[in-house]
Structure 1
Amino acid sequence: MYSRLIYFYSLELLFRLTYIFISFVFCLSIASLNSHSLLFFEFYPFIRLGQKKFIVINVMDLFNTLWLLIIFKSLFFIFPYWLFHLYKFNSSSWYKYQLKFFKRLLLWFTSLYFIYFFLFYFFILPCVLFLLTKLNVGHNSLFEVFMEFRILSYVKWVLTFQYFISSLNLIFFIVILNFYFFFKLNSIYFIIKYCRKFFICVILFILFLLIPPDGFIQGCLVGFIFLIFEAVFLFVCYKWCYKNKF
Protein backbone atom coordinates (compact mmCIF):
# COMPACT_ATOMS: atom_id res chain seq x y z
CA MET A 1 0.00 0.00 0.00
CA TYR A 2 2.66 2.50 1.07
CA SER A 3 4.99 1.50 -1.74
CA ARG A 4 2.20 2.08 -4.26
CA LEU A 5 1.49 5.53 -2.79
CA ILE A 6 5.18 6.40 -2.92
CA TYR A 7 5.26 5.27 -6.55
CA PHE A 8 2.28 7.41 -7.59
CA TYR A 9 3.49 10.46 -5.67
CA SER A 10 6.97 10.11 -7.14
CA LEU A 11 5.48 9.78 -10.61
CA GLU A 12 3.36 12.90 -10.13
CA LEU A 13 6.31 14.83 -8.72
CA LEU A 14 8.48 13.81 -11.67
CA PHE A 15 5.73 14.82 -14.10
CA ARG A 16 5.30 18.26 -12.49
CA LEU A 17 9.05 18.91 -12.31
CA THR A 18 9.38 17.93 -15.97
CA TYR A 19 6.51 20.24 -16.86
CA ILE A 20 8.13 23.13 -14.96
CA PHE A 21 11.46 22.45 -16.67
CA ILE A 22 9.83 22.43 -20.12
CA SER A 23 8.06 25.70 -19.29
CA PHE A 24 11.38 27.18 -18.19
CA VAL A 25 12.98 26.10 -21.47
CA PHE A 26 10.13 27.77 -23.38
CA CYS A 27 10.66 30.95 -21.33
CA LEU A 28 14.36 30.85 -22.20
CA SER A 29 13.52 30.43 -25.89
CA ILE A 30 11.02 33.30 -25.93
CA ALA A 31 13.42 35.57 -24.03
CA SER A 32 16.26 34.66 -26.41
CA LEU A 33 14.15 35.50 -29.46
CA ASN A 34 13.17 38.84 -27.91
CA SER A 35 16.53 39.77 -26.42
CA HIS A 36 16.41 43.33 -27.80
CA SER A 37 13.07 43.97 -26.06
CA LEU A 38 14.49 42.46 -22.88
CA LEU A 39 17.49 44.81 -23.02
CA PHE A 40 15.25 47.80 -23.65
CA PHE A 41 13.03 46.91 -20.68
CA GLU A 42 16.06 46.46 -18.42
CA PHE A 43 17.60 49.78 -19.46
CA TYR A 44 14.32 51.75 -19.54
CA PRO A 45 14.81 53.36 -16.06
CA PHE A 46 18.29 54.45 -17.16
CA ILE A 47 17.00 55.82 -20.48
CA ARG A 48 14.40 57.94 -18.66
CA LEU A 49 17.25 59.90 -17.09
CA GLY A 50 18.53 60.91 -20.53
CA GLN A 51 21.53 58.56 -20.34
CA LYS A 52 21.78 56.47 -23.51
CA LYS A 53 25.41 55.34 -23.51
CA PHE A 54 26.99 52.18 -22.11
CA ILE A 55 30.55 50.93 -22.29
CA VAL A 56 31.19 47.45 -23.72
CA ILE A 57 34.78 46.36 -23.08
CA ASN A 58 34.61 43.27 -25.28
CA VAL A 59 32.09 41.14 -27.14
CA MET A 60 31.72 38.70 -24.25
CA ASP A 61 30.36 41.48 -22.02
CA LEU A 62 27.32 41.81 -24.27
CA PHE A 63 26.94 38.03 -24.53
CA ASN A 64 27.18 37.56 -20.75
CA THR A 65 24.71 40.40 -20.19
CA LEU A 66 22.15 38.80 -22.50
CA TRP A 67 22.42 35.37 -20.91
CA LEU A 68 22.32 36.82 -17.41
CA LEU A 69 19.12 38.70 -18.21
CA ILE A 70 17.53 35.77 -20.02
CA ILE A 71 18.17 33.30 -17.19
CA PHE A 72 17.18 35.62 -14.35
CA LYS A 73 14.02 36.91 -16.03
CA SER A 74 12.96 33.38 -16.98
CA LEU A 75 13.40 32.26 -13.38
CA PHE A 76 11.51 35.33 -12.20
CA PHE A 77 8.45 34.65 -14.35
CA ILE A 78 8.44 30.87 -13.82
CA PHE A 79 8.47 31.15 -10.01
CA PRO A 80 4.68 31.77 -9.55
CA TYR A 81 4.04 28.82 -11.85
CA TRP A 82 6.25 26.67 -9.62
CA LEU A 83 4.18 27.74 -6.59
CA PHE A 84 1.00 26.78 -8.44
CA HIS A 85 2.34 23.25 -9.05
CA LEU A 86 3.37 23.05 -5.41
CA TYR A 87 -0.23 23.84 -4.44
CA LYS A 88 -1.63 21.21 -6.83
CA PHE A 89 0.83 18.57 -5.68
CA ASN A 90 -0.13 19.03 -2.01
CA SER A 91 -3.87 19.30 -2.66
CA SER A 92 -4.40 15.54 -2.30
CA SER A 93 -2.76 15.28 1.14
CA TRP A 94 -3.70 18.52 2.90
CA TYR A 95 -6.87 19.43 4.73
CA LYS A 96 -9.32 21.89 3.21
CA TYR A 97 -8.42 24.69 5.62
CA GLN A 98 -4.72 24.21 4.78
CA LEU A 99 -5.45 24.41 1.06
CA LYS A 100 -7.62 27.47 1.57
CA PHE A 101 -4.91 29.16 3.62
CA PHE A 102 -2.17 28.30 1.12
CA LYS A 103 -4.34 29.41 -1.81
CA ARG A 104 -5.03 32.76 -0.18
CA LEU A 105 -1.35 33.13 0.72
CA LEU A 106 -0.37 32.23 -2.85
CA LEU A 107 -2.78 34.82 -4.24
CA TRP A 108 -1.45 37.55 -1.96
CA PHE A 109 2.16 36.62 -2.63
CA THR A 110 1.72 36.56 -6.41
CA SER A 111 -0.08 39.91 -6.38
CA LEU A 112 2.62 41.52 -4.25
CA TYR A 113 5.24 39.83 -6.42
CA PHE A 114 4.14 41.60 -9.60
CA ILE A 115 3.17 44.87 -7.88
CA TYR A 116 6.69 45.08 -6.46
CA PHE A 117 8.14 44.26 -9.89
CA PHE A 118 6.19 47.18 -11.43
CA LEU A 119 7.07 49.62 -8.62
CA PHE A 120 10.74 48.69 -8.70
CA TYR A 121 11.29 49.29 -12.41
CA PHE A 122 9.14 52.38 -12.80
CA PHE A 123 9.58 54.20 -9.47
CA ILE A 124 12.27 52.86 -7.11
CA LEU A 125 15.06 52.19 -9.62
CA PRO A 126 14.70 55.53 -11.52
CA CYS A 127 14.84 57.44 -8.21
CA VAL A 128 17.94 55.55 -7.06
CA LEU A 129 19.66 56.03 -10.44
CA PHE A 130 18.85 59.74 -10.34
CA LEU A 131 20.41 60.04 -6.88
CA LEU A 132 23.52 58.14 -7.98
CA THR A 133 24.00 60.08 -11.23
CA LYS A 134 23.45 63.54 -9.70
CA LEU A 135 27.07 63.44 -8.50
CA ASN A 136 28.23 64.48 -11.97
CA VAL A 137 30.53 67.51 -11.95
CA GLY A 138 28.96 70.54 -13.67
CA HIS A 139 30.34 72.78 -16.39
CA ASN A 140 31.35 75.49 -13.91
CA SER A 141 34.10 73.35 -12.42
CA LEU A 142 37.73 73.41 -13.42
CA PHE A 143 37.29 70.10 -15.19
CA GLU A 144 34.44 67.92 -16.38
CA VAL A 145 33.67 64.37 -15.37
CA PHE A 146 31.57 62.28 -17.75
CA MET A 147 29.90 59.29 -16.14
CA GLU A 148 29.33 56.23 -18.31
CA PHE A 149 28.30 52.77 -17.18
CA ARG A 150 29.60 49.38 -18.14
CA ILE A 151 26.67 47.36 -19.41
CA LEU A 152 27.55 44.15 -17.53
CA SER A 153 28.26 45.94 -14.25
CA TYR A 154 24.99 47.86 -14.54
CA VAL A 155 22.92 44.70 -15.08
CA LYS A 156 24.63 42.88 -12.20
CA TRP A 157 24.05 45.85 -9.90
CA VAL A 158 20.37 46.16 -10.89
CA LEU A 159 19.72 42.45 -10.35
CA THR A 160 21.54 42.46 -7.01
CA PHE A 161 19.67 45.55 -5.86
CA GLN A 162 16.34 44.13 -7.03
CA TYR A 163 16.71 40.82 -5.21
CA PHE A 164 18.07 42.54 -2.10
CA ILE A 165 14.99 44.79 -1.89
CA SER A 166 12.67 41.87 -2.66
CA SER A 167 14.33 39.79 0.09
CA LEU A 168 13.76 42.62 2.59
CA ASN A 169 10.11 42.84 1.52
CA LEU A 170 9.71 39.08 1.85
CA ILE A 171 11.23 39.08 5.35
CA PHE A 172 8.95 41.97 6.32
CA PHE A 173 5.92 40.10 4.92
CA ILE A 174 6.83 36.90 6.81
CA VAL A 175 7.32 38.82 10.07
CA ILE A 176 3.90 40.45 9.68
CA LEU A 177 2.28 37.07 9.02
CA ASN A 178 3.95 35.55 12.08
CA PHE A 179 2.78 38.42 14.26
CA TYR A 180 -0.72 38.15 12.82
CA PHE A 181 -1.17 34.40 13.26
CA PHE A 182 1.00 33.50 16.26
CA PHE A 183 0.83 36.53 18.54
CA LYS A 184 -2.10 38.05 20.34
CA LEU A 185 -3.00 41.65 19.64
CA ASN A 186 -2.00 42.75 23.15
CA SER A 187 1.45 41.19 22.76
CA ILE A 188 1.94 42.85 19.36
CA TYR A 189 0.94 46.21 20.81
CA PHE A 190 3.44 46.04 23.69
CA ILE A 191 6.25 44.66 21.48
CA ILE A 192 5.88 47.50 18.97
CA LYS A 193 5.40 50.12 21.69
CA TYR A 194 8.52 49.27 23.71
CA CYS A 195 10.82 47.67 21.09
CA ARG A 196 10.21 49.61 17.88
CA LYS A 197 13.14 51.99 18.54
CA PHE A 198 15.46 49.02 18.92
CA PHE A 199 14.15 47.46 15.67
CA ILE A 200 14.53 50.80 13.86
CA CYS A 201 18.16 51.16 15.01
CA VAL A 202 19.04 47.60 13.98
CA ILE A 203 17.42 47.93 10.54
CA LEU A 204 19.05 51.31 9.88
CA PHE A 205 22.44 50.01 11.01
CA ILE A 206 22.24 47.09 8.56
CA LEU A 207 21.00 49.27 5.70
CA PHE A 208 23.66 51.95 6.28
CA LEU A 209 26.32 49.26 5.84
CA LEU A 210 24.87 48.31 2.45
CA ILE A 211 23.80 51.58 0.80
CA PRO A 212 26.13 54.31 -0.58
CA PRO A 213 27.22 56.99 1.95
CA ASP A 214 24.95 59.67 0.50
CA GLY A 215 23.27 62.03 2.97
CA PHE A 216 20.08 62.45 0.94
CA ILE A 217 19.57 58.69 0.50
CA GLN A 218 20.22 58.04 4.18
CA GLY A 219 17.82 60.82 5.23
CA CYS A 220 15.06 59.47 2.98
CA LEU A 221 15.69 55.96 4.29
CA VAL A 222 15.45 57.08 7.93
CA GLY A 223 12.17 58.88 7.24
CA PHE A 224 10.78 55.90 5.32
CA ILE A 225 11.63 53.39 8.09
CA PHE A 226 10.17 55.65 10.78
CA LEU A 227 7.02 56.14 8.69
CA ILE A 228 6.55 52.38 8.26
CA PHE A 229 6.91 51.63 11.98
CA GLU A 230 4.64 54.51 13.01
CA ALA A 231 2.00 53.44 10.47
CA VAL A 232 2.10 49.85 11.76
CA PHE A 233 1.90 51.07 15.37
CA LEU A 234 -1.07 53.31 14.51
CA PHE A 235 -2.85 50.41 12.82
CA VAL A 236 -2.25 48.12 15.82
CA CYS A 237 -3.53 50.83 18.20
CA TYR A 238 -6.67 51.22 16.09
CA LYS A 239 -7.32 47.46 16.03
CA TRP A 240 -6.70 47.16 19.77
CA CYS A 241 -9.06 50.05 20.62
CA TYR A 242 -11.71 48.65 18.27
CA LYS A 243 -11.42 45.20 19.86
CA ASN A 244 -11.64 46.54 23.43
CA LYS A 245 -14.61 48.72 22.49
CA PHE A 246 -16.70 45.83 21.23
Structure 2
Amino acid sequence: MYSKLIYFYSLELIFRLLYIFISFLLCALVASINIYYLILFEVYPFVVYELRKFIITNVTDLFDVLWLLVISKSFFFVFPYWIFQLSSFSSSSWYLYQIKFFRRSFYFSFLIILIYLVFVHFGLLPFILSVLTKWKINSTNLFDIFVEFRIISYIKWVLAFRYFFSSISFFVLLVVLHLWFLVKINRIYLFVKCYRKLFIFGFLCVLFLLIPPDNFLQILCLGIAFFTFELVFLFVCYKLCNKKF
Protein backbone atom coordinates (compact mmCIF):
# COMPACT_ATOMS: atom_id res chain seq x y z
CA MET A 1 0.00 0.00 0.00
CA TYR A 2 2.80 2.42 0.87
CA SER A 3 4.48 1.72 -2.45
CA LYS A 4 1.26 2.62 -4.30
CA LEU A 5 0.94 5.86 -2.36
CA ILE A 6 4.54 6.74 -3.13
CA TYR A 7 3.93 5.95 -6.80
CA PHE A 8 0.78 8.08 -7.07
CA TYR A 9 2.25 11.03 -5.16
CA SER A 10 5.44 10.88 -7.21
CA LEU A 11 3.42 10.80 -10.40
CA GLU A 12 1.34 13.77 -9.25
CA LEU A 13 4.46 15.72 -8.31
CA ILE A 14 6.04 15.02 -11.70
CA PHE A 15 2.93 16.23 -13.52
CA ARG A 16 2.76 19.40 -11.42
CA LEU A 17 6.43 20.13 -12.05
CA LEU A 18 5.79 19.53 -15.74
CA TYR A 19 2.94 22.07 -15.66
CA ILE A 20 5.28 24.58 -14.02
CA PHE A 21 7.96 23.97 -16.66
CA ILE A 22 5.46 24.37 -19.51
CA SER A 23 4.18 27.59 -17.95
CA PHE A 24 7.74 28.87 -17.70
CA LEU A 25 8.34 28.11 -21.38
CA LEU A 26 5.12 29.89 -22.35
CA CYS A 27 6.10 32.92 -20.26
CA ALA A 28 9.52 32.93 -21.90
CA LEU A 29 7.90 32.75 -25.34
CA VAL A 30 5.57 35.67 -24.59
CA ALA A 31 8.46 37.68 -23.13
CA SER A 32 10.59 36.99 -26.21
CA ILE A 33 7.84 38.23 -28.50
CA ASN A 34 7.36 41.42 -26.45
CA ILE A 35 11.02 42.04 -25.64
CA TYR A 36 10.84 45.65 -26.87
CA TYR A 37 8.23 46.50 -24.24
CA LEU A 38 10.26 44.73 -21.55
CA ILE A 39 13.30 46.86 -22.36
CA LEU A 40 11.13 49.99 -22.39
CA PHE A 41 9.71 49.04 -19.00
CA GLU A 42 13.17 48.51 -17.49
CA VAL A 43 14.64 51.77 -18.81
CA TYR A 44 11.61 53.81 -17.75
CA PRO A 45 13.20 55.01 -14.45
CA PHE A 46 16.13 56.34 -16.48
CA VAL A 47 14.16 58.21 -19.13
CA VAL A 48 11.34 59.51 -16.94
CA TYR A 49 13.08 62.85 -16.37
CA GLU A 50 15.26 63.25 -19.41
CA LEU A 51 15.95 61.08 -22.43
CA ARG A 52 19.53 59.81 -22.37
CA LYS A 53 21.65 57.42 -24.35
CA PHE A 54 22.76 53.87 -23.72
CA ILE A 55 25.99 52.52 -25.09
CA ILE A 56 26.94 49.02 -26.21
CA THR A 57 30.59 48.01 -25.97
CA ASN A 58 30.27 44.37 -27.01
CA VAL A 59 28.39 42.74 -29.84
CA THR A 60 26.71 40.29 -27.45
CA ASP A 61 25.40 42.95 -25.04
CA LEU A 62 21.97 43.04 -26.66
CA PHE A 63 21.74 39.26 -26.61
CA ASP A 64 22.71 39.25 -22.92
CA VAL A 65 20.04 41.87 -22.19
CA LEU A 66 17.37 39.87 -24.00
CA TRP A 67 18.37 36.65 -22.25
CA LEU A 68 18.48 38.30 -18.82
CA LEU A 69 15.10 40.01 -19.19
CA VAL A 70 13.34 36.96 -20.59
CA ILE A 71 14.61 34.66 -17.83
CA SER A 72 13.97 37.11 -14.97
CA LYS A 73 10.45 38.04 -16.09
CA SER A 74 9.53 34.42 -16.77
CA PHE A 75 10.61 33.40 -13.27
CA PHE A 76 8.76 36.35 -11.76
CA PHE A 77 5.44 35.63 -13.47
CA VAL A 78 5.57 31.85 -13.05
CA PHE A 79 6.40 32.09 -9.34
CA PRO A 80 2.74 32.44 -8.12
CA TYR A 81 1.74 29.44 -10.22
CA TRP A 82 4.68 27.48 -8.79
CA ILE A 83 3.52 28.29 -5.24
CA PHE A 84 -0.03 27.30 -6.15
CA GLN A 85 1.02 23.91 -7.53
CA LEU A 86 3.24 23.06 -4.57
CA SER A 87 0.59 24.15 -2.07
CA SER A 88 -2.04 22.09 -3.88
CA PHE A 89 0.25 19.07 -3.76
CA SER A 90 0.96 19.51 -0.03
CA SER A 91 -2.56 20.53 1.04
CA SER A 92 -3.77 16.91 1.11
CA SER A 93 -1.89 16.44 4.40
CA TRP A 94 -2.82 19.82 5.90
CA TYR A 95 -5.61 20.79 8.21
CA LEU A 96 -8.21 23.28 7.08
CA TYR A 97 -6.83 26.08 9.26
CA GLN A 98 -3.35 25.48 7.82
CA ILE A 99 -4.68 25.87 4.29
CA LYS A 100 -6.46 29.12 5.19
CA PHE A 101 -3.37 30.44 6.96
CA PHE A 102 -1.14 29.61 4.00
CA ARG A 103 -3.47 31.28 1.50
CA ARG A 104 -3.81 34.43 3.56
CA SER A 105 -0.06 34.55 4.13
CA PHE A 106 0.62 34.07 0.44
CA TYR A 107 -1.88 36.75 -0.65
CA PHE A 108 -0.51 39.20 1.92
CA SER A 109 3.12 38.49 0.98
CA PHE A 110 2.50 38.74 -2.75
CA LEU A 111 0.57 42.01 -2.35
CA ILE A 112 3.28 43.58 -0.18
CA ILE A 113 6.05 42.48 -2.54
CA LEU A 114 4.09 43.87 -5.51
CA ILE A 115 3.61 47.21 -3.73
CA TYR A 116 7.33 47.35 -2.94
CA LEU A 117 8.28 46.58 -6.55
CA VAL A 118 5.95 49.27 -7.93
CA PHE A 119 7.24 51.83 -5.42
CA VAL A 120 10.88 51.04 -6.19
CA HIS A 121 10.45 51.03 -9.96
CA PHE A 122 8.28 54.12 -10.37
CA GLY A 123 9.30 56.12 -7.30
CA LEU A 124 12.66 55.28 -5.77
CA LEU A 125 14.67 54.33 -8.87
CA PRO A 126 13.88 57.51 -10.85
CA PHE A 127 14.83 59.61 -7.82
CA ILE A 128 18.13 57.77 -7.28
CA LEU A 129 19.05 57.91 -10.96
CA SER A 130 18.21 61.62 -11.16
CA VAL A 131 20.53 62.27 -8.20
CA LEU A 132 23.35 60.11 -9.55
CA THR A 133 23.17 61.63 -13.05
CA LYS A 134 22.72 65.29 -12.17
CA TRP A 135 26.18 66.22 -13.43
CA LYS A 136 25.70 68.78 -16.18
CA ILE A 137 28.05 70.09 -18.84
CA ASN A 138 29.60 73.37 -17.70
CA SER A 139 31.96 75.27 -19.96
CA THR A 140 33.68 76.98 -17.03
CA ASN A 141 35.04 73.70 -15.68
CA LEU A 142 38.44 72.36 -16.58
CA PHE A 143 36.83 69.14 -17.80
CA ASP A 144 33.39 67.96 -18.85
CA ILE A 145 31.56 64.95 -17.49
CA PHE A 146 29.20 63.04 -19.79
CA VAL A 147 27.00 60.49 -18.03
CA GLU A 148 26.16 57.47 -20.16
CA PHE A 149 25.18 53.93 -19.22
CA ARG A 150 26.02 50.57 -20.66
CA ILE A 151 22.65 48.96 -21.18
CA ILE A 152 23.71 45.54 -19.86
CA SER A 153 25.22 47.06 -16.68
CA TYR A 154 22.15 49.23 -16.20
CA ILE A 155 19.71 46.30 -16.56
CA LYS A 156 21.72 44.14 -14.14
CA TRP A 157 21.91 46.94 -11.58
CA VAL A 158 18.19 47.76 -11.81
CA LEU A 159 17.12 44.13 -11.43
CA ALA A 160 19.50 43.50 -8.53
CA PHE A 161 18.56 46.72 -6.73
CA ARG A 162 14.80 46.25 -7.16
CA TYR A 163 14.64 42.65 -5.99
CA PHE A 164 17.19 43.15 -3.21
CA PHE A 165 15.45 46.23 -1.80
CA SER A 166 12.02 44.60 -2.01
CA SER A 167 13.24 41.41 -0.32
CA ILE A 168 15.03 43.28 2.48
CA SER A 169 12.02 45.55 3.06
CA PHE A 170 9.66 42.59 3.17
CA PHE A 171 11.96 40.74 5.58
CA VAL A 172 12.12 43.79 7.87
CA LEU A 173 8.33 44.04 7.75
CA LEU A 174 7.98 40.38 8.76
CA VAL A 175 10.42 40.84 11.64
CA VAL A 176 8.52 43.92 12.85
CA LEU A 177 5.18 42.11 12.64
CA HIS A 178 6.51 39.08 14.52
CA LEU A 179 8.03 41.26 17.23
CA TRP A 180 4.84 43.29 17.44
CA PHE A 181 2.60 40.28 17.98
CA LEU A 182 4.98 38.07 19.98
CA VAL A 183 6.78 40.58 22.21
CA LYS A 184 4.98 42.49 24.93
CA ILE A 185 4.31 46.17 24.31
CA ASN A 186 6.18 47.13 27.49
CA ARG A 187 9.41 45.60 26.22
CA ILE A 188 8.96 47.24 22.83
CA TYR A 189 8.48 50.61 24.53
CA LEU A 190 11.62 50.21 26.66
CA PHE A 191 13.65 49.02 23.66
CA VAL A 192 12.57 51.92 21.44
CA LYS A 193 13.02 54.45 24.24
CA CYS A 194 16.55 53.30 25.14
CA TYR A 195 17.95 52.60 21.67
CA ARG A 196 16.05 55.07 19.47
CA LYS A 197 18.87 57.63 19.31
CA LEU A 198 21.45 54.91 18.69
CA PHE A 199 19.45 53.58 15.74
CA ILE A 200 19.03 57.10 14.34
CA PHE A 201 22.78 57.75 14.58
CA GLY A 202 23.71 54.43 12.94
CA PHE A 203 21.13 54.82 10.20
CA LEU A 204 22.30 58.36 9.36
CA CYS A 205 25.97 57.31 9.34
CA VAL A 206 25.29 54.56 6.81
CA LEU A 207 22.97 56.81 4.80
CA PHE A 208 25.48 59.67 4.57
CA LEU A 209 28.10 57.23 3.27
CA LEU A 210 25.78 56.15 0.45
CA ILE A 211 24.14 59.38 -0.70
CA PRO A 212 26.04 62.11 -2.62
CA PRO A 213 27.20 65.27 -0.78
CA ASP A 214 24.14 67.35 -1.59
CA ASN A 215 22.96 69.71 1.18
CA PHE A 216 19.27 69.54 0.33
CA LEU A 217 19.30 65.75 0.03
CA GLN A 218 21.14 65.31 3.34
CA ILE A 219 18.77 67.65 5.18
CA LEU A 220 15.79 65.84 3.64
CA CYS A 221 17.12 62.41 4.68
CA LEU A 222 17.89 63.73 8.16
CA GLY A 223 14.34 65.03 8.57
CA ILE A 224 12.76 61.83 7.21
CA ALA A 225 14.86 59.67 9.57
CA PHE A 226 13.97 61.71 12.66
CA PHE A 227 10.31 61.87 11.67
CA THR A 228 10.11 58.11 11.04
CA PHE A 229 11.74 57.07 14.32
CA GLU A 230 9.77 59.60 16.37
CA LEU A 231 6.55 58.52 14.68
CA VAL A 232 7.26 54.89 15.57
CA PHE A 233 7.97 55.88 19.18
CA LEU A 234 4.75 57.93 19.32
CA PHE A 235 2.76 54.99 17.96
CA VAL A 236 4.25 52.66 20.59
CA CYS A 237 3.38 55.14 23.34
CA TYR A 238 -0.16 55.40 22.00
CA LYS A 239 -0.60 51.62 22.00
CA LEU A 240 0.82 51.40 25.52
CA CYS A 241 -1.58 54.07 26.84
CA ASN A 242 -4.58 52.37 25.23
CA LYS A 243 -3.56 49.06 26.75
CA LYS A 244 -3.36 50.55 30.26
CA PHE A 245 -6.70 52.35 30.07
Please confirm whether the aligned pair reaches a TM-score higher than 0.5, indicating the same fold: yes
Q: 1:1-246, aligned counterparts within 5 Å?
A: 1-203=1-203, 211=210, 213-215=212-214, 220-245=220-245
Distance 1:200 1:85 in 2: 44
What percent identity do the matched residue pairs reach?
Answer: 51
Note closer, same or farther for the CA distance 1:80–1:235 as it changes in structure 2 (3 Å cut).
farther
Note closer, same or farther for the CA distance 1:71–1:90 as it changes in structure 2 (3 Å cut).
same
Distance 1:178 1:63 in 2: 44
Where 1:92 maps in the other structure, the secondary structure is helix
Unmatched tracts of structure 1, length 5 or more: none
Distance 2:218 2:7 in 1: 56
Distance 1:201 1:2 in 2: 60
Contact 2:28–2:74 under 8 Å retained in 1: yes
Note closer, same or farther for the CA distance 1:215–1:240 as it changes in structure 2 (3 Å cut).
same
Amino acid at match of 2:62: L
Offset at residue 87 of structure 1 (A): 2.9
Note closer, same or farther for the CA distance 1:15–1:242 as it changes in structure 2 (3 Å cut).
farther
Note closer, same or farther for the CA distance 1:119–1:230 as it changes in structure 2 (3 Å cut).
same
Note closer, same or farther for the CA distance 1:53–1:178 as it changes in structure 2 (3 Å cut).
same
Amino acid at match of 1:130: S
TM-score by length of 2: 0.86
Where 2:43 maps in the other structure, the secondary structure is helix
Q: Deviations over 1:173-202 (max 9, x none)?
A: 221232134222222222222233444455
Offset at residue 72 of structure 1 (A): 1.2
Q: Deviations over 1:114-158 (max 9, x none)?
A: 212211111111000000001334344344322111111111111
Amino acid at match of 2:63: F
Amino acid at match of 1:63: F
Where 2:52 maps in the other structure, the secondary structure is coil
Contact 2:55–2:148 under 8 Å retained in 1: yes
Note closer, same or farther for the CA distance 1:51–1:196 as it changes in structure 2 (3 Å cut).
same
Distance 1:180 1:78 in 2: 33
Unmatched tracts of structure 2, length 5 or more: none
Moved more, 217-226 or 122-131: 217-226
Amino acid at match of 1:70: V
Note closer, same or farther for the CA distance 1:38–1:238 as it changes in structure 2 (3 Å cut).
same
Note closer, same or farther for the CA distance 1:33–1:61 as it changes in structure 2 (3 Å cut).
same
Amino acid at match of 1:18: L
Distance 1:215 1:74 in 2: 39
Note closer, same or farther for the CA distance 1:69–1:220 as it changes in structure 2 (3 Å cut).
farther
Distance 2:225 2:21 in 1: 40
Offset at residue 50 of structure 1 (A): 1.4
Note closer, same or farther for the CA distance 1:180–1:97 as it changes in structure 2 (3 Å cut).
farther
Offset at residue 29 of structure 1 (A): 0.7
Contact 2:24–2:78 under 8 Å retained in 1: yes
TM-score by length of 1: 0.86
